[in-house]
Amino acid sequence: MRYAMIMAGGSGTRLWPMSREGQPKQLIRFIHREDGSVVSLLQVAAERMAGIVEPERGYICTGERYREQILEGVPGMADARILGEPTPRDTVNAVAFAAAVFAKEDPAAVFAVLTADQMIAPVDVFNNAMDLGFRLVEEDDSRLVTFGITPTHPATGYGYIERGGPIGRADGPARDAAFGVERFVEKPPLEKAEAYLASGKFFWNSGMFVFHARRFLALYEKYLPENKEGMRRIAAAWGTPEQKQVLDAVYPTLKKTSVDYGIMEPSSGDPDVSIVGVAMAVKWLDVGSWPSYGETIGADADGNRSAGVRLAVHESRNNIVIGEGGADREHLVALVGCEGLVVVRTGRATLVMPREKAEALKALHGGLGEGDR
């Protein structure tokens, strides 16, 4: 059967001060819809997930501390489908945790790994690409499927996938979207990103995958042997009265690394595994910083974008002004002679910075006192 899991463990330090201790970025209600509703990134991701698997087979892997917030904030999510991590251990362990749960329930389980911080449209194109990914793995469980986004500019903040040759089978209207992956490239300098864009052979790495659960666990044990016994203990205890006790004791001991470094890169040289890419021709936005969040909001004639507050401007261009909404929605922010600023106002803190300094916010966050984070 088909399963899906949303990874929702990021802290979102580059979206401070809205993202903070106790409220990571995926739970902030700041996505403004055309109907006037305001929802979280995680709710948007859960709605997408509902289009590719049956509701009872859609899971969220997140910090255990966020369980109640997710149950309250994500309509239709059940307690049993929240995989609560006692402490973050990076993405490879989140995926292995889900794989262990799915494989125990269904030895033939194939599952999608989704993210909690992306805006994707149109949804039907996303659904078709995910269906192709599932079919590719159902045909051949040695395939590890990753999804590539056609780049629109030479971004230096994303990883890249190089397109290789065509693959066989996976019949259907989207077959031409599948290809062998030549290599993965981590965040490149601008000159290389420009060359990748010009070549037409590279995609942005979306961070989404489809795996066969048991095959993934075999690779996890092969490439992270120090985690082998720990994950086996977690799997054996799952669904028993010892489930929480074992998870709490063992999970924090697992070696941390990403699924890209831990599985995908070493698998690229494994003759028993094939890495397959699926092109996803969508408008894709990784909402990981205030400038990228600004792209979710409409702009005025001078490029100013605002949400959650009232905005008044004079001789000001290309600014992003955000408030928490609610009672704060009537608060007026006025800009005179400002260009390229990010202004974020909450009840606890106010952030003002040039857009081009967005990456430095992580460093500022690290220097804040515990109560301000």
- Over residues 270-325, the pLDDT tens digits come to 999 999 999 999 999 999 899 999 999 999 999 999 999 999 999 999 999 999 87
Handedness of CA 296, 300, 301, 304 (dihedral sign): negative
- Nearest residue to 91 via CA among 269, 246, 256: 256
- Alpha carbon dihedral 180, 183, 188, 192, in 10-degree steps, equals -70
Query: Which residue among 228, 263, 286 closes a domain?
Result: 286
pLDDT band at 171 (very low <50, low <70, confident <90, very high): low
User: Does 291 map to a domain?
Assistant: no
Better-predicted residue by pLDDT, 23 or 349: 349
Burial of 51 per CB tally in 10 Å (0-12, 13-18, 19+):
middle
Task: Encode pLDDT of 80-136 as tens digits.
Answer: 999 999 999 999 999 999 999 999 999 999 999 999 999 999 999 999 999 999 999
Check pLDDT > 90 for residue 22: no
φ, ψ of residue 195 in degrees (nearest 5): -65, -40
324 and 183 assigned to the same domain: no
pTM of the model: 0.92
Handedness of CA 271, 162, 215, 85 (dihedral sign): positive
- Nearest residue to 73 via CA among 34, 28, 115: 28
103 and 180 assigned to the same domain: yes
Query: Which residue among 286, 313, 346 closes a domain?
Result: 286
- The pLDDT value recorded for residue 130 is 97
Domain that holds residue 320: 299-372
- The pLDDT value recorded for residue 350 is 95
Task: Provide the 10 A C-beta neighbour count for residue 311.
Answer: 20
User: Does 171 map to a domain?
Assistant: yes
User: Does 294 map to a domain?
Assistant: no
- The pLDDT value recorded for residue 248 is 98
Query: Which residue among 286, 311, 336 closes a domain?
Result: 286
User: Does 293 map to a domain?
Assistant: no
| Residue located via tokens 């995680």 | 42
For the chain, helix, strand, coil in percent to 5 are 40, 30, 30
114 and 257 assigned to the same domain: yes
d(CA 117, CA 101): 23
93 and 184 assigned to the same domain: yes
Burial of 164 per CB tally in 10 Å (0-12, 13-18, 19+):
middle
100 and 51 assigned to the same domain: yes
- Peptide bond preceding 354 in cis form (omega within 30 of 0): no
- The pLDDT value recorded for residue 57 is 97
Q: Span 212-218, mean pLDDT?
A: 98
- The first and second tokens of residue 138, run together, are 């159902």
d(CA 45, CA 90): 19
- The H-assigned helical ranges of 208-298 are 213-223, 228-237, 243-250, 259, 265-267, 290-294
267 and 120 assigned to the same domain: yes
User: Does 61 map to a domain?
Assistant: yes
Check pLDDT > 70 for residue 173: no
Output Rg (C-alpha) for the chain, integer angstroms.
21
Check pLDDT > 80 for residue 328: no
144 and 193 assigned to the same domain: yes
66 and 107 assigned to the same domain: yes
**Mean pLDDT, the chain, integer:** 93
- Per DSSP, the three-state class of 87 is coil
pLDDT band at 327 (very low <50, low <70, confident <90, very high): low
| Residue located via tokens 């209600």 | 29
257 and 305 assigned to the same domain: no
User: Does 223 map to a domain?
Assistant: yes
- The pLDDT value recorded for residue 329 is 78
Contact 341, 355 (CB under 8 A): yes
16 and 40 assigned to the same domain: yes
Contact 312, 333 (CB under 8 A): yes
| All residues at 6 or more sequence positions from 105 whose CB lies less than 8 Å from its CB, including other chains | none
- The first and second tokens of residue 286, run together, are 């990784």
User: Does 18 map to a domain?
Assistant: yes
82 and 218 assigned to the same domain: yes
Check pLDDT > 90 for residue 55: yes
pLDDT band at 165 (very low <50, low <70, confident <90, very high): confident
User: Does 53 map to a domain?
Assistant: yes
Counted domains in the chain: 2
306 and 364 assigned to the same domain: yes
Task: Provide the 10 A C-beta neighbour count for residue 13.
Answer: 20
